[in-house]
Chains A and B, each alone.
Chain A
Amino acid sequence: MELIDRYVYAVVQKLPEQQRNDIRKELYGLIEDMLEERSPLTAPSREDVEQVLQQLGHPSVMAAKYRGHERYLISPALFDSYLSVIKIVLMAILLSMSVVFVIDCIVEPAPILDHFIDYLVSLISAGSQGFVWVTVIYAFIDFGAHKKYAGHGDMSKKWSPADLPPIPDPKSQIKLSEPVAGIIFTVLFTVIFMFGSELIGAYRFHDGLVTSIPLMNSDVIGKYLPFIGVLGALGVMREVLKIIVRRRTLTILIFHICLSLLGLVFAAILLNTPGFWNDDFLSQLQAVGWAPQGGEDYENLKSIWFAVTHNLIYFIGLFTIIDLVSEVYKWFRIRMPEESGATTIR
């Protein structure tokens, strides 16, 4: 009977491929047995079939009983924070793309429709990238959590009460605003680099016209787009970890150190790529009359430009080191009282 086929199909569809055939045969046998019991002599009516299927229950519930356990890409424990992070990331993308769009329109007012189409296209592309990255990050964290805490899919792994995490010291707690700001900043930075690097530069408003002189060469940056994307995703991942754990831990510290060093290496590679800086920056400044045409002033400006572009990486390195030292210091400051506190236990 067609109804039975549909029921069995609905159950079996939600089960692993290898078990389907066996369970299908078993279910057909069961349903026929149940029908036979209802009307041993006559062929079962549609009503009989409906009642038997009702008795067996909803196909999804039936399939869940066969599976024995539920599986998630992102488990319910993490789903709420996943939703919030998705919202934050998408809002940050919308915000930064809108900033790029507005600046684009001001700099080149003529083809506003083109800008708008560009804006929509990149919004969809950046939005779906953001969505995918956040989902991947969460699935990854969830997978790690399952492996760490749940051995072979159950909670049978031995634990001792000594493993219980301490109730976080208020000092070690991370305020929610910190990772949220971190996500927004990371997304802004990534989006502007990926979609609007040509807009970073000097602007000149003149007779209602705006001319921009880009500081960097967007073609060169274009070659590194995937790396920028991955770095941005890792940056968001760090903030997501903070949102989930909500306190300073060694894992987060190590992640932060690795990511900062990775960022530093990437910055060094990027800044050393020939043609990264717009070599015509100074002559373009001269052309709009912002830089002196020659003489000592120009030579000074030239040497400043030279010094900045050649030494920027050292400044970035210095700031990275300062940041790392302060993070390590913060972490140690939290550790110390905890350990001395343990000796004065009441």
Chain B
Amino acid sequence: MADVAETIQGLLSELRRGTIIIGVLSQLSDPQYGYSLVSVLEEKGMSIDPGTLYPLLRRLEKQQLLESSWDTNEARPRKYYVLTEFGRAVYSGLCREWRELTASMEKIVDLEGG
């Protein structure tokens, strides 16, 4: 028999994968660098592996949702990411979809599980 907890973990990580993008976009109205984003999201209850976040940031930049700039004034050079105009539009669209999705999921889960 498969382990229930293990199976849940596997499915959960699949479920989270998409939500991470919304989480990241939500925090980037103001410029942030990668690691500060990890701590901010952690505080809000979304844990994300830096090894996943950094490549994701680059990918979102390539898709023109984010733009980046190096800040070399501090002791440690850091790459700051911020939403582009396009990214803002995509983010608000995603939020709308998300609300619809959660609303319909609520109903489904209530009916089936409750």
A residues near B (Cβ < 8 Å) are 22-23, 25-27, 29-30, 32-34, 37, 55-57, 61-62, 65-66, 68
Nearest chain A residue, comparing its CB with the CB of B36: A33
Kindly state whether residue B79 has any CB partner on chain A within 8 Å: yes
Number of A-B contacts (CB under 8 A): 44
Q: A29-B76, A55-B51, A56-B51 are in contact. Are A68 and B35 (CB under 8 A)?
A: no
Apart from the given pairs A29-B78, A30-B34, A30-B35, 14 other A-B contacts in the complex at a CB distance below 8 Å? A22-B79, A26-B54, A27-B54, A29-B33, A29-B34, A29-B35, A30-B50, A33-B35, A55-B51, A61-B51, A62-B55, A66-B55, A68-B55, A68-B59
Kindly state whether residue B58 has any CB partner on chain A within 8 Å: yes
Nearest chain A residue, comparing its CB with the CB of B75: A32
Q: List 9 A-B contacts (CB under 8 A).
A: A23-B58, A25-B79, A26-B54, A29-B78, A29-B79, A30-B54, A34-B50, A55-B51, A66-B58
B residues near A (Cβ < 8 Å) are 33-35, 39, 49-52, 54-55, 58-59, 70, 76-79
Nearest chain A residue, comparing its CB with the CB of B59: A68
Chain B nearest CB: distance from A245 CB in Å? 35
Q: A29-B77, A29-B78, A68-B59 are in contact. Are A34 and B35 (CB under 8 A)?
A: yes
Q: Which residues of B contact A25 (CB under 8 A)?
A: 70, 77, 79
Once bound together, how far apart are the Cα atoms of A29 and B51, in whole Å? 13
Nearest chain A residue, comparing its CB with the CB of B57: A26
Once bound together, how far apart are the Cα atoms of A55 and B39, in whole Å? 15
Q: Which residues of B contact A29 (CB under 8 A)?
A: 33-35, 76-79
Chain B nearest CB: distance from A315 CB in Å? 62
Chain A nearest CB: distance from B10 CB in Å? 17
Chain A nearest CB: distance from B54 CB in Å? 6
Q: Which residues of A contact B34 (CB under 8 A)?
A: 26, 29-30
Once bound together, how far apart are the Cα atoms of A56 and B49, in whole Å? 8
Once bound together, how far apart are the Cα atoms of A56 and B79, in whole Å? 18
Partner pick for B50 among A23, A56, A61, A68, CB 8 A cutoff? A56
Q: Which residues of A contact B52 (CB under 8 A)?
A: 65
Nearest chain A residue, comparing its CB with the CB of B55: A65
Once bound together, how far apart are the Cα atoms of A29 and B70, in whole Å? 11
Q: Which residues of A contact B78 (CB under 8 A)?
A: 29
Once bound together, how far apart are the Cα atoms of A280 and B54, in whole Å? 77
Once bound together, how far apart are the Cα atoms of A22 and B79, in whole Å? 9
Q: Which residues of B contact A56 (CB under 8 A)?
A: 50-51
Once bound together, how far apart are the Cα atoms of A65 and B70, in whole Å? 22
Q: Which residues of B contact A37 (CB under 8 A)?
A: 39
Nearest chain B residue, comparing its CB with the CB of A67: B55
Once bound together, how far apart are the Cα atoms of A33 and B75, in whole Å? 11
Q: Which residues of A contact B77 (CB under 8 A)?
A: 25, 29
Once bound together, how far apart are the Cα atoms of A25 and B34, in whole Å? 12
Please state if A32 and B76 are interface contacts (CB–CB under 8 Å): yes
Once bound together, how far apart are the Cα atoms of A32 and B77, in whole Å? 11
Once bound together, how far apart are the Cα atoms of A56 and B77, in whole Å? 20
Chain A nearest CB: distance from B64 CB in Å? 15
Chain A nearest CB: distance from B61 CB in Å? 11
Nearest chain B residue, comparing its CB with the CB of A58: B51
Chain A nearest CB: distance from B40 CB in Å? 13
Chain A nearest CB: distance from B32 CB in Å? 12
Q: Which residues of A contact B50 (CB under 8 A)?
A: 30, 34, 55-56
Please state if B79 and A26 are interface contacts (CB–CB under 8 Å): yes
Q: Which residues of A contact B58 (CB under 8 A)?
A: 23, 66
Nearest chain B residue, comparing its CB with the CB of A11: B51
Q: Which residues of A contact B55 (CB under 8 A)?
A: 62, 65-66, 68
Chain A nearest CB: distance from B87 CB in Å? 18
Q: A26-B79, A29-B77, A66-B58 are in contact. Are A57 and B51 (CB under 8 A)?
A: yes
Which 3 residue pairs are nearest across A and B when measured between Cβ atoms? A33-B35, A65-B55, A56-B51
Chain A nearest CB: distance from B73 CB in Å? 14
Once bound together, how far apart are the Cα atoms of A34 and B53, in whole Å? 13
Chain A nearest CB: distance from B80 CB in Å? 11
